[in-house]
Amino acid sequence: MPERIVVPFGPQHPVLPEPIHLDLVLEDETVVDVVPSIGYIHRGLEKLVTKREYPEFVHVAERICGICSFMHGMAYVQGIEAIMDVEVPDRARYLRTIWAECSRLHSHLLWLGLFADAMGFENLFMRSWQLRESVLDVLEDTTGGRVIQGTCKVGGVRRDIKGEKLSDIQKTLPEFEQQCRDLTDVFLNDESVKYRLGGLGVIGKSEAYDLGAAGPTLRGSGVDWDARCLGYAAYADLDFKPVSHPAGDCYARCAVRLGELFTSIDLINQAVEKMPEGPIDVKVTGAPDGEYFCRVEQPRGEVVHYLKGDGTKHLTRARVRTPTLANIPPLVKMLPGCQLADVPVIVLSIDPCISCTER
């Protein structure tokens, strides 16, 4: 039997964007066992809910994650609105949709870059991040923040996008879409990329469903489940189909995210076209009394915000189940049997966001 060595992978490792620790048991270069552990960046954000008044906690909720920031804020305010039965104005719902889809675009482009870097394709990494920059510019122009938007509030949104700006955004979409197509061509058709991704970390359809996988990890295995179909924000009025890919390997997960780029572009386009006029927020009085599980589709998958209030200004409990936590079981299933060189690719393929996971 070959000698077994244990390679510590993380919490600080150049190919890992965030601190997850994996003990990889190797035989030569084949991974035979993997033991994950987390807990390096717990910040106690859930506890803060008892220290901040519920309208202010949205700023904290947004900072659960630096990438899916907007959607954490959105999930939180939607939860509060559901408890308090607040009817959000239509324009606010559409604006939220636009910002959520911009966030998804920038998150996916960020991920594509990191993924390219994990397989040693530096130029593709640079290109993905270059495209991401144009999305960040739009976000900055419309919200004032590049990654932390801070525009959601209970009862609506804090900022409006003027009609002029909306059509400006729409005008830039076709060119951006073309650039995304060029990027997609490299990811899906380049032989060296295909060699690195094909048949790697396969999770079958029923297995992914049973493991409780979320987001592109689930859809990459052929299950077209997308929390956006719940119809929150303006998604019920817009026309879209969840992107899925049957193969279940790293290539499929990559293809799903690339497909979602175009879904997002299309959704932004639709939202701009259908954008209703009207107020952007309603005044919210009182305090939440009740509980709610709010589910939102983040770039990484479905996030669950569990919120409970007792009629005071401070919620009594908040709990966030992030998509990364749900995707750890599939990851533990994927890794054994792969090559050491493929570990970063497989780990990245679930798009781990550890600071989300630990709150």
Segment 38 to 77, residues that bind another protein, using CB under 8 A: 38-40, 42, 52, 56-57, 59-60, 63
Of 179-208, which residues contact another protein (CB under 8 A)? 182-183, 185-186, 189-196
Of 220-239, which residues contact another protein (CB under 8 A)? 225, 229-232, 236
CA angle 308, 309, 310 (to 5 degrees): 135
In sequence order, the 6+-apart residues with CB closer than 8 A to the CB of 240 are 228, 263, 266, 267, 270
* CB atoms near residue 187 (< 10 Å): 21
Applying CB under 8 A, the span of 64-72, 254-262, 273-281, 298-306 interacting with another protein comes to 298-306
Choosing from 209, 240, 266, 282, the residue that interacts with another protein (CB under 8 A) is 209
- Residue 328 engages another protein in binding (rule: CB under 8 A): yes
Q: Which is nearer to another protein, 148 or 173 (CB)?
A: 148
- Residue 304 engages another protein in binding (rule: CB under 8 A): yes
- Residue 162 engages another protein in binding (rule: CB under 8 A): no
CA of 112: how far to CAs of 49, 170, 197, 265, 270, in Å?
Answer: 33, 23, 13, 16, 25
Binding track over 14-33 against another protein, x by CB under 8 A? xx-----x----x--x----
Closest distance between another protein and the C-beta of residue 293, in Å?
6
Label the pairing between strands 4-9 and 21-27. Answer: antiparallel
Choosing from 25, 30, 90, 158, the residue that interacts with another protein (CB under 8 A) is 158
Of 122-151, which residues contact another protein (CB under 8 A)? 122-124, 126-127, 130, 133, 137, 140-141, 143-145, 148, 150
Phi, psi dihedrals of residue 68, rounded to the nearest 5°: -95, 30
Phi, psi dihedrals of residue 277, rounded to the nearest 5°: -85, 165
SS3 state of residue 316: strand
Distance CA 278, CA 297 (A): 26
